Chain A
Amino acid sequence: MRQPRHRFGEHTGEVELTVEAPSLAALFEEAARALAELQAEDAGGAPTRSEERITLTSSDRDALLVDWLNELVYHGEVNKCVYADVTVARIDERELEAIVRGREPLAPRTAVKAATWHGLRIRSCDDGVEATVVLDV
């Protein structure tokens, strides 16, 4: 079974994020952790904020990933925190429900403006799913 993991690839202007995981839910959770890692050096520390529930409906699976990351960018900016502690409670091709807990970072790093649709793709593999998304930083 493929373990959740991510890497930041080569992109001249922005940040190209590739995520892989055994399931769609795990993929979305890993993408959130990658975003938080980019936003703060101490993203993996204990959450300092109370639980928030996020529900989304999008036009398709690719759009759902962009909307998910943009939702976290929005909540993070207005709440001054990052979200590495996430649980995707329910997900299908167009809808998602998640529980997230924020952490106010002590060592903020890269300001992420948005997740983009450029080069966006979620691919199903034998042992899981893989996605690539470009983040505007």
Chain B
Amino acid sequence: MGWSQSFSHVSDAIYEADRNARAGMRVPARIVADEVLFGQIGRDRSIEQLLNVATLPGLVGHVVGMPDMHEGYGFPVGGVAATSVTDGVISPGGIGFDINCGVRLLATNISRGDVDVEPLLHQLMRSVPAGYGHGGRLELSHADLDRILEGGAPEIVRRFELGSEEDLACIEGGGQLVGARASAVSDRAKHRGRDQLGTLGGGNHFLEIQLVQAIYDREAARTLGLELDQITVLVHTGSRGLGHQVCTDHVRAMDASLARYGITLPDRQLACVPFASPEGGAYFAAMCAAANFAFANREVLTHRVREAFREANPNAVVRVVYDVAHNIAKIEQHGGKRVCVHRKGATRAFGPDDDDVPAPYRAIGQPVLIPGSMGTASFVLVGSGASTLSFASACHGAGRAMSRTAARGQVKGGELRRELASQGIAVRCPSNAELAEEAPIAYKDVERVVDVVHRAGIARKVARLVPVGVLKG
């Protein structure tokens, strides 16, 4: 069991370890999980990683592990930590390489019986570049890229005339983080991302055509414009190589600055500097710029999805329900303090009446989008604003339970492709090996993960979506 033994089961879905669990901890650690998920989480090194995070200077309250938590690098995936903006640090490892990796849910006016999924998926595959190193179709000048880094999704709508003004009202932060500075992003990062706007990328990124299969909260579903048998699309991608390079650049710079700030760490990937330092400010400005690139990327992909749907059905209407980041740092108020909330594989889950929730949704709370693993259900929830419990953060997915090597050993990509087809799920993925690595068996049970979040009072379930077509990155 190892570090799991340091935790006590303090309530239905909460485990806690005090700050004596390991040397150097500055705050307690909390994991939101039931017994089954806590047991799964304890099988890899994620708990040790969460306790390492609890040693960072200037933490506020406690560090939090989500029910989908699994081993990452530095921070665990599914880790949340809030640091004081006056005497705390910012750590790029607490955001990850894929800055503003996130999900966008699109709702259509089309029902299951009114669409032929195979040709639609084929068209989406033709218009959405996926996979390793694939450039996109939107060529950007240096000036264009700088404008997007500072202007985010609104720049795509207003300058490139892709997407719509209505979309922007339903994106976290309006799709533009105001702290962004293009000058804080290295030429290398810009070079890496210049031809990647409008692309999915590889790994666990995907674009799924889904069907609303169940509604748990009719009023909230009505507010979000979701109804049974409706076709929806979930887009999961981030800031691509540009964001990866921003993280690489700043972890390296911070590693070199640790001694100057008298910071010692149990793991070099936790490299950090005071939030209020020049290096901290430079990283935050670059991270916001990369996040804007990701919002812009998902806006371009929304345009591509609209094109594909209108080709299949000229009367198709595709509307943004919400777009939320799950790898990001945000400045927020919690417990009366202004803090930098690091969410590494965790979704913001603000409650009703919060000014940061789009006006049409303010009565029900912020939409929380939880993608399942390939072939399993995804969920729409609305946040409860559980500030004290989790800094108003929820899980971000099912969470891996098995390594890629182990998944390839247990699942054959070709067989999985046929099995999904037999369930009525069309799949486009160029590599059978990569398909096997993302097999449902490699993930935790998303239904259980979401139920724990619901029971813990972090967010409440609204709808269940099941895939009918998967375009894998």
Which residues of A are in contact with B by a Cβ distance under 8 Å? 8-15, 39-41, 59, 62-63, 66-67, 70, 73-74, 76-78, 80, 105, 107-111, 113-114, 116-120, 134, 136-137
Identity of the chain B residue whose Cβ is nearest the Cβ of A115 in the assembled complex: B248
* Interchain CA distance A105-B132 in the complex, whole Å: 10
Q: Let me know if B132 and A136 touch, CB within 8 A.
A: no
Known A-B contacts A111-B203, A114-B244, A117-B255; the reply to A12 vs B401 at CB < 8 A is: yes
Answer whether A111 and B247 are a contact pair too, CB < 8 Å, given A12-B403, A116-B73, A117-B255.
Answer: no
* B residues neighboring A (CB under 8 Å): 44, 46, 70-74, 77, 93, 96-98, 131-133, 135, 188, 191-192, 201-203, 241, 244-245, 247-248, 251-252, 255-256, 267-269, 271, 400-406, 430-431, 433-434, 473
- List A contacts of B96 (CB < 8 A): 136
Q: How many angstroms between the C-alpha atoms of A119 and B270 in the bound complex?
A: 11
Chain A residue with minimal CB distance to B196? A77
**20 contacts across the A-B interface (CB closer than 8 A):** A8-B405, A13-B77, A15-B404, A39-B132, A59-B256, A62-B268, A66-B252, A74-B245, A74-B248, A80-B135, A108-B132, A108-B431, A109-B431, A110-B203, A111-B132, A111-B203, A116-B73, A117-B267, A117-B271, A134-B73
- A118, B248: Cβ atoms closer than 8 Å: no
A79 (CB) vs chain B CBs: closest residue: B133
Min CB–CB distance B241 → chain A (angstroms): 5
Residues of A contacting B269 in the complex (Cβ-Cβ under 8 angstroms):
116-118, 120
Q: How far is the CB of B427 from chain A (nearest CB, A)?
A: 17
Q: Report whether over half of chain B's contact residues are helix, strand or loop; otherwise say mixed.
A: mixed
Are A110 and B71 touching (Cβ within 8 A)?
no
Residues of B within 8 A of A111 (CB): 131-133, 201-203, 473
Contact B406 A10 (CB under 8 A): yes
A117 neighbours in B (Cβ, 8 Å): 73-74, 251, 255, 267-269, 271
Q: In the complex, how many angstroms separate the beta carbon of B338 from the nearest chain A beta carbon?
A: 29
Residues of chain A within 8 A (CB-CB) of B70 are 12-13
State whether B434 touches A11 (Cβ < 8 A).
no
- Top-9 shortest CB links A-B: A111-B202, A118-B73, A117-B268, A116-B73, A118-B269, A111-B132, A108-B132, A113-B97, A12-B71
Residue from B73, B252, B268 within 8 A of A136 (CB atoms): B73
Question: Contact at B202–A67, with CB atoms within 8 Å?
Answer: no
Contact between A110 and B74 (Cβ–Cβ < 8 Å)?
Answer: no
Q: Return B431 CB to nearest CB of chain A, in Å.
A: 6
Could you tell me the distance between the alpha carbons of A107 and B131 in the complex, rounded to whole angstroms? 11
Instruction: Please indicate the chain B residues that have their CB under 8 angstroms from the CB of A14 in the complex.
Output: 71-73
- A110: chain B residues at CB < 8 Å are 132, 202-203, 434
CA distance A114 to B247 in the complex (A): 9
Contact of A74 among B188, B201, B251, B255 (CB under 8 A): B188
Distance between Cα atoms of A74 and B241 in the complex (Å): 8
A11 to B247, CA, bound (A): 21
* A110→B268 CA distance, assembly (Å): 25
Compute how far the CA of A40 lies from the CA of B433 in the bound complex, rounded to whole angstroms. Answer: 11
Chain B residues within 8 Å of A62, by CB: 268
> In the complex the two chains form, is B252's CB within 8 Å of A67's CB?
yes
The answer to whether A70 and B133 touch (CB under 8 A), given A113-B98, A117-B255, A118-B74, is no
**CB pair B267 A118 closer than 8 Å:** yes
> In whole angstroms, what is the CA distance A77 to B201 when docked?
11
| Chain A residues within 8 Å of B247, by CB | 114
Determine the chain A residues whose CB is within 8 A of the CB of B93 once the complex forms. 118
Question: In the complex, A103 Cα to B365 Cα: how many Å?
Answer: 50
Given contact pairs A13-B400, A78-B192, A114 touches B434 in the complex (Cβ within 8 A): no
Nearest-Cβ distance from residue A66 to partner chain B, whole angstroms: 8
